[in-house]
Chains A and B, each alone.
Chain A
Amino acid sequence: MTAALELKGLTTRFQTRTGHVTAVNDVSFAVQKGRILGLVGESGSGKSVTGFSILGLIAPPGEVCAGEVLVDGVDLRQLREEEMRKMRGRKVAMVFQDPMMTLNPVLRVGDQMAMAVRVHRAMSKPAAFEEARKALDAVGIPAAAERLRAYPHQLSGGMRQRVAIAMALLHSPSVIIADEATTALDVSIQGQILAEVRKLCDQTGTAIVWITHDLAVVSSLADDICVMYAGRIVERGTAQQVIDYPRHPYTRGLLDSIPARHAPGTPLPQIPGSTPQLSRLPTGCPFRPRCPKASDICATPPPTHAIDGQTVLCHHPLERS
């Protein structure tokens, strides 16, 4: 079966005054229809740049310099800009952390949604409004017909994010990239939206890449998890494999530092040091200076180990206990 989205060796770099910085380094993964992939990492790990690279939204001084982005088997990197524009929104859509990045503040919700419908489909305005209303219904917005007449500022943050998700769903795309889509929301609203997203993904078969720093969110939502560090995917597997049997010392460190996993008041295991600057990465494994298992061999590029589809980029992968 062709994957809804497959990345092969995606590499994105940015030109800076001091030379090239590789923000996304040889990233490969596949998401099947109807599945949710959680892309987890800390700030500067390259998770958002991966999302932008998939949609071809990297502008100079940045550049996608290698790899393939296959959506339903079609390599988006081979398309001309006007063909790519036809893909955005129709085949691949994106939801951002701040819904006001998606919504136009001076247009009514219905007008901008109908516009988004008619960009890709020849359709009368009333029919486009009907499509918009159905999309709002689908994400659980009450009184959808009335909300179409509202301006974005008249909606709460949670409602705006639902509208942004509804807009991403308008054309039943093959893939939706959601970048920290619930991070700014309150937990009770986040819970509502995560439940809707899971339902929609199961119903429509849309593949979702859920980009977040929050391990708790992906462990409850995602089918598969990729962990990024310094532009590389260091571990990849099903949610259960990665959460229950992490094999990369970084994944293990992240999971161990979560307070809920320890008795209240006890010292938390911590990863020493701080997240690395991409312009000053050490040779070999980028996690080496912070890693408890690091040895001399870690100064050379780490190899890939795979067991049961769980792959890890490390010289000293942890045993599955």
Chain B
Amino acid sequence: MTNPILRIENVSKRFTRMPGLAERLVGRLTGGGKPVVVHALTDVSLEVAQGEVLGIVGESGCGKSTLGRVVAGIYAPSDGRVTLHGKPIAREHSGNIDKLTTQVQMIHQDPFASLNPRMKVGETLAEGPRYHKIIPSRDVQARMRALLEKVGLEGAYADRFPHQFSGGQRQRVAIARALAMEPEVLVLDEAVASLDVSIQAQVLNLFMDLRRDLGLTALFISHDLSVVRHVCDRVAIMYLGRLVELAPADQLYADPKHPYTSALFASVPTVGTGKRVFEAIKGEIPSPINPPPGCAFHPRCPLAGPRCRMEVPRLTWAGVGRQVACHLNDGGVDSKGAPA
């Protein structure tokens, strides 16, 4: 990797729910009532280069949003660390949280929930830069108008409230708010998922334009494989809190190495007639509270062998710039052979 600016090193994130009083009392009698631990992220390591857009793909419960929030400094990792230019992203309760977290900005899925309905969008945009003194206060108004124009809205819209905008326009405002902080890294969490098809293309085009003009570095979190292919340089596939495959986008789509990645591609409906059969993945996504032993995908994997039930596969190299966590890739065993 040339010049990675963002490093995610062995990051794990666990959420613990303590039992309530009633559960503890019942627990005394039944032996239950212990804290419930959700393993949202387990030992995830990634590097993102300057100007790169890294796609994070997976189904619900795979930890992709948790990863985005750890990178944005919203959650502190339980283990491991995230660094930007070698300096750790702020941890909760630490003194320097203010300075560091402004360098990573997040754009959320639902622009109806992420904008304050009682603030004019101009005020929403100005709040962060003003607080962090990123822009001299006499320039704020002009800068906000320029930002609105940059995301394809009119400068005069600064005096409007969010309810006066459509969904696509609100998402443009959310993007402008993130850019107002002059971030080094953007985290987009399902940023186009709630938009109508015709509006989604507008916002994707805007993102690609901004990326070209500003040289943005971004984590693009999405469940939509075709959108990810369109805008990302590399793609990480996650399953139940772990990274299972990492590859340049063109290679991943042409030749997926992990059985989960292949199965995911096979179950996505594509526009085009004639395709009638869904090669569906069997079974359900297991609970992250009680993940299966060994490879988390083994209960649903058509190629699983005895070793897959016992041993967690490590992320290993599978070509130039490609990594995959699957026993089938181990020790030169080809993807069609049985696991060693």
Contact = CB atoms under 8 A, between A and B. Distances in A.
Interface string A24-66: 0000000000000000001100000000000000000000000
Contacts of A257: 197-198, 200-201
Interface residues of B, number: 46
A258 B223 contact: no
A255 B272 CA distance: 10
Given A187-B223, A216-B271, A259-B227, 8 more contacts: A42-B196, A156-B284, A187-B264, A188-B263, A188-B285, A259-B229, A270-B205, A274-B166
B285 A186 contact: yes
A258 B59 CA distance: 21
B277 A275 contact: no
Nearest to B273: A240
B131 interface: no
Contacts of B225: 187
B197 A42 contact: yes
B284 A159 contact: yes
A191 B229 contact: no
Nearest to A158: B284
Contacts of A190: 267, 269
A215 interface: yes
B285 to A, nearest CB: 7
Contact of B272 (A219, A269, A270): A219
A253 interface: yes
Contacts of B30: none
Closest 7 pairs between A and B when the two form their complex, measured CB to CB:
A191-B267, A257-B201, A259-B230, A260-B226, A191-B278, A186-B59, A42-B196
B28 interface: no
Contact of B230 (A192, A265, A275): A265
Contacts of A236: none
Contacts of A198: 276
Which of B267, B269, B284 has its CB near the most chain A CB atoms (within 10 A)?
B269
Contacts of A159: 284
A264 B229 contact: yes
A243 B271 contact: yes
Contacts of A275: 166, 196, 198-199
Contacts of A239: 273
A61 B57 CA distance: 43
Nearest to A155: B284
Contacts of B282: 192
Interface in A154-170: 156, 158-159
B151 interface: no
Interface string A123-161: 000000000000000000000000000000000101100
Interface in B276-304: 276-282, 284-285
B37 to A, nearest CB: 20
B270 A260 contact: yes
B268 interface: yes
Which of A198, A239, A271 has its CB near the most chain B CB atoms (within 10 A)?
A271
Interface of A: 42-43, 156, 158-159, 186-192, 194-195, 198, 213-217, 219-221, 239-240, 243-244, 253-255, 257-262, 264-265, 267-272, 274-275
A243 B196 contact: no
Contacts, number: 135
B97 to A, nearest CB: 34
B275 interface: yes
Given A187-B267, A188-B263, A239-B273, A258 B197 contact: yes
B328 to A, nearest CB: 19
Interface of B: 59-60, 166-169, 196-202, 204-205, 208, 223, 225-227, 229-231, 249-250, 263-264, 266-282, 284-285
Contact of B280 (A192, A221, A258, A267): A192
Which of A42, A213, A260, A275 has its CB near the most chain B CB atoms (within 10 A)?
A260
B269 A194 contact: yes
A221 B197 contact: no
A88 B279 CA distance: 34
Contact of B269 (A221, A254, A270, A272): A221
Contacts of B60: 186
Contacts of A270: 198, 201-202, 205
A236 B186 CA distance: 42
A195 B278 contact: yes
A274 B169 contact: yes
A268 B198 contact: no
18 contacts: A42-B197, A43-B167, A156-B284, A156-B285, A186-B223, A188-B285, A191-B280, A195-B278, A195-B280, A240-B273, A259-B230, A260-B271, A264-B230, A265-B230, A271-B198, A274-B166, A274-B168, A274-B199
Contacts of A43: 167, 196
Which of B169, B197, B285 has its CB near the most chain A CB atoms (within 10 A)?
B197
A192 B169 CA distance: 35
A30 B199 CA distance: 30
A216 B226 CA distance: 11
B231 A265 contact: yes
Which of B168, B199, B200 has its CB near the most chain A CB atoms (within 10 A)?
B199
Given A186-B285, A195-B278, A216 B269 contact: yes
Contacts of A187: 59, 223, 225, 264, 267-268
A269 B272 CA distance: 18
B62 to A, nearest CB: 9
Given A265-B230, A269-B201, A270-B201, A258 B271 contact: yes
A268 B280 contact: no
A43 B208 CA distance: 25
A215 B279 CA distance: 19
Given A270-B198, A274-B166, A188 B280 contact: yes
